[in-house]
Chains A and B, each alone.
Chain A
Amino acid sequence: MTLGELGIGVPVTVVSVGGERAFRRRLMELGLLPGTEVEIVRVAPLGDPLELGVRGCRLSIRRDEAVNIEVSMLPARERSESAPAVVPVGSGVPAAP
Chain B
Amino acid sequence: MTLSAVPANADATGADPAGAVLHRVVVVGNPNVGKTTLYNHLTRGNARVGNYPGVTVERHVGRLAAEGPAARHVEVIDVPGTYSLSARSAEEQIAIQAVLGMDEHPRPDLAVVVVDAGQLVRNLYLVLQLVELGVPCVVALNMIDEARDNPPVPEAVSRLFGVPCVATNGRTGDGVPALIRAVETALAEPKAPSLEVAYPGELRADVDRVAEALPRALRANVERDRALARWALTSIDEDDELVAVDPGLRERVTDVRRAAGSRDVDREIIAARYAFLDSVAPSLFARGTEGRPKHAGSERLDRFLIHPAYGFAVFLVVMTTLFQALFTWAEPAIHGVEALVGALQKGAASVLPHGVFRDLLVEGVIGGVGNVIVFVPQILLLFLFVGILEDSGYMARVAYLMDRIMRSLGLHGRAFVPMLSGFACAIPAILATRTMERQRDRLLTMLVVPLMTCSARLPVYTLVIAALFPPTRVFGWVPVQGLLLVGMYFFATAFALAAAAVLGRVAVKGRKVPLILELPPYRLPKVGGTLRMMWEKTSSFLREAGTVILATTVVLWALLAFPRKVIDEGLPVAPVAAQHAIEESYGGRIGKVMEPALAPLGFDWKIGVGLVGAFAAREVFVSTMGLVYGVGGVDDGDVVPLRDRMRAETRADGKPAYSPLTGLSLLVFFAIACQCMSTLATVYRETRSLRWPAFLFAYTGVLAWAMSFAVYQGGRLLGF
Residues of chain A having any CB pair with chain B under 8 Å = 17, 19-31, 33-35, 42, 44-49, 51, 55-62, 64-65, 78-86, 88-96
Given known pairs A27-B516, A83-B198, the reply for A17 and B275 (CB within 8 Å) is: no
Which chain B residues (366-407) contact chain A, with CB distance < 8 Å? 396, 400-401, 403-405, 407
Chain B: residues with CB nearer than 8 A to chain A? Answer: 83-84, 86, 88, 118-119, 121-122, 125, 156, 159-162, 194-200, 234, 237, 240, 266-268, 270-272, 274-276, 278-280, 282-283, 292-293, 302, 306-309, 311-312, 396, 400-401, 403-405, 407, 513-520
Partner of A49, one of B240, B279, B400: B400
Check B283–A93 contact: CB distance below 8 A. Answer: yes
A-B contact list, 14 entries, CB within 8 Å: A22-B240, A23-B516, A26-B83, A31-B122, A31-B125, A44-B404, A45-B308, A49-B403, A51-B400, A65-B515, A83-B199, A85-B280, A92-B159, A93-B283
CB distance from B314 to the nearest CB of A (A): 12
Interchain CB contact under 8 A, A57 and B197: no
Chain B residues within 8 Å of A58, by CB? 302, 518-520
In whole angstroms, what is the CA distance A89 to B223 when docked? 12
Contact call A89/B279, Cβ cutoff below 8 A: no
Q: Known A28-B270, A42-B306, A83-B200; judge A93-B156 contact (CB<8 A).
A: yes
Given the known inter-chain contacts A25-B266, A33-B274, please indicate yes or no for A59 contacting B516, CB distance below 8 A: yes
Of A29, A56, A96, the residue contacting B83 (CB under 8 A) is A29
The answer, among B267, B515, B518, for a CB contact under 8 Å with A57, is B518
Which of B240, B267, B292 is close to A34, meaning CB atoms less than 8 Å apart?
Answer: B267
| Additional A-B contacts beyond A60-B400, A95-B279 (4; CB < 8 A) | A28-B270, A89-B162, A93-B160, A96-B282
Going nearest first, the 4 A-B pairs with the smallest beta carbon separation are A56-B292, A45-B308, A58-B519, A80-B271
Beta-carbon contact of A83 and B292 below 8 Å:
no
Q: Do A83 and B518 have beta carbons less than 8 Å apart?
A: no
Please determine whether B195 and A46 come into contact, CB atoms closer than 8 angstroms. no
Q: Which of A57, A62, A95 contacts B122 (CB 8 A)?
A: A57
State A92–B161 Cα separation when bound (angstroms): 10
Kindly list chain A residues whose C-beta atoms are within 8 Å of the C-beta of B275: 79-85
Do A61 and B516 form a contact, CB below 8 Å, given A46-B404, A89-B196? yes
Residues of chain A lying within 8 A (CB to CB) of residue B196: 86, 88-89
| Chain B residues within an 8 Å CB radius of A42 | 302, 306
Chain A CB within 10 A, most for which of B161, B268, B400: B400
Looking across the interface, which residue of chain A has its beta carbon closest to that of B162?
Answer: A90
Whether B84 and A29, one on each chain, are in contact in the complex, defined by CB atoms closer than 8 angstroms, is yes
> Chain A residues with Cβ under 8 A from B159's Cβ?
91-93
- B199: A residues at CB distance < 8 A: 83
A45–B234 touching, CB < 8 Å: no
Say whether A45 contacts B516, CB under 8 Å: no
Q: Which residues of A contact B283 (CB under 8 A)?
A: 93-94, 96
B407 surroundings in chain A (CB, below 8 A): 62
Q: A17-B267, A44-B404 are in contact. Are A56 and B514 (CB under 8 A)?
A: no
Given A33-B267, A83-B198, A44 contacting B119 (CB threshold 8 A): no
**Which of A22, A44, A57, A61 is close to B401, meaning CB atoms less than 8 Å apart?**
A44
Report the separation of the CA atoms of residues A28 and B653 in the bound assembly, to the nearest whole angstrom.
75
Q: How far is the CB of B27 from chain A (nearest CB, A)?
A: 20
Interface SS of A by simple majority: loop
- Residues of chain A lying within 8 A (CB to CB) of residue B278: 78-80, 85
Contact A90 B194 (CB under 8 A): yes
Are the CB atoms of A91 and B276 closer together than 8 Å? no
Q: A95: which B residues are within 8 A, CB to CB?
A: 279-280
Our pick among B119, B200, B513 for the contact of A56 (Cβ within 8 Å) is B119
Are A96 and B279 in touch, CB under 8 angstroms?
yes
Measured CA separation A86–B204 after assembly (Å) = 15
Instruction: Quote the shortest CB–CB distance from B313 to chain A (angstroms).
Output: 11
C-alpha gap A62/B514 in the complex (Å):
8
The residue from A27, A57, A89 contacting B195, defined by CB atoms under 8 A apart: A89
Q: In the assembled complex, how far is the CB of residue B387 from the closest CB belonging to chain A, in whole angstroms?
A: 22
What is the distance, in angstroms, from B311's C-beta to the closest C-beta of chain A? 6
Q: Write out the residue numbers on chain B whose beta carbons fall within 8 Å of the beta carbon of A91.
A: 159-162
What is the CB-to-nearest-CB distance from A41 to chain B, in angstroms, rounded to a whole number? Answer: 8
CB of B516 within 8 A of CB of A30, answer: yes
User: Which residues from A are CB-within-8-Å of B312?
Assistant: 45
Q: Is the CB of A29 within 8 A of B516?
A: no
- Most B CB atoms within 10 A — which of A30, A59, A94? A30
For the complex formed, measure the closest distance between the CB of B94 and the CB atoms of chain A, giving whole angstroms: 16
Q: What chain A residues lie within 8 Å of B88 (beta carbons)?
A: 22
> How far apart are the CA atoms of A19 and B512 in the complex, in Å?
13
Q: A49 to B274, Cβ gap below 8 A?
A: no
Our pick among B234, B279, B282, B515 for the contact of A25 (Cβ within 8 Å) is: B234
Nearest-CB distance from A60 to chain B (Å)? 4
Contact B266 A28 (CB under 8 A): yes
Cβ-defined contact, A64 with B514, below 8 A: yes
Given contacts A33-B274, A34-B271, A84-B279, contact A47 B517 (CB under 8 A): no
Contact of A22 among B156, B200, B237, B515 (CB under 8 A): B237
A26 to B515, CA, bound (A): 10
CA distance A95 to B660 in the complex (A): 83
A19 touches B514 (CB 8 A): yes
Q: With both chains docked as a complex, state the minimum distance between the C-beta of B260 and any C-beta of chain A, in angstroms.
A: 13
Q: Let me know if B122 and A55 touch, CB within 8 A.
A: yes
Closest-CB distance, A75 to chain B (whole angstroms): 16
Q: Contact at B194–A89, with CB atoms within 8 Å?
A: yes
B401 to A: closest C-beta gap in Å = 6
Q: How far is the CA of A30 from the CA of B371 in the complex (A)?
A: 47
Q: In the complex, A56→B120 CA distance in Å?
A: 10
Measured between beta carbons, the chain A residues less than 8 angstroms from B401 are 44-45
What's the least CB distance linking B393 to chain A, in Å? Answer: 10
- Given A48-B404, A85-B197, the answer on whether A26 and B516 have CB atoms closer than 8 Å is yes
Please judge, given known A-B contacts A44-B401, A60-B519, A62-B515, whether A28 and B119 are in contact too, CB under 8 Å. no
- For the complex, give the distance between the alpha carbons of A97 and B196 in Å: 18
Residues of A within 8 A of B519 (CB): 51, 58-60
Q: Give the docked Cα–Cα distance between A15 and B647 (Å).
A: 73
**Residues of B contacting A35 in the complex (Cβ-Cβ under 8 angstroms):** 271
Contact indicator A86/B194 (Cβ below 8 Å): no
Residue of B nearest to A47 (CB): B404
State how many angstroms separate the Cβ of A44 from the closest Cβ of chain B: 6
Q: A28 with B121: in contact, given A45-B401, A96-B279 (CB under 8 Å)?
A: no
A92 to B312, CA, bound (A): 52
In the complex, the answer to whether B122 meets A30 with C-beta atoms within 8 Å is: yes
**What chain A residues lie within 8 Å of B307 (beta carbons)?**
45
CA distance A84 to B196 in the complex (A): 12
Distance in angstroms between the alpha carbons of A22 and B89 in the assembled complex: 10
The minimal Cβ–Cβ distance linking B700 to chain A, given in whole angstroms, is 31
Question: B198's contact among A20, A78, A86, by CB below 8 Å, is which?
Answer: A86
Interchain nearest-CB distance for A87 vs B (Å):
9
Chain B neighbourhood of A34, CB < 8 A: 267, 271
- Complex: A33 Cα to B275 Cα, angstroms: 10
- What residues of chain B lie closer than 8 Å to A64, measured between beta carbons? 514
Chain B residues lying within 8 Å of A49, measured Cβ to Cβ, are 400, 403-404, 515, 517
- A58 vs B405: C-alpha distance in the bound complex, in angstroms? 21
Q: Which of A22, A47, A88, A94 is within 8 Å of B513, CB to CB? A: A22
Contact A31 B274 (CB under 8 A): yes
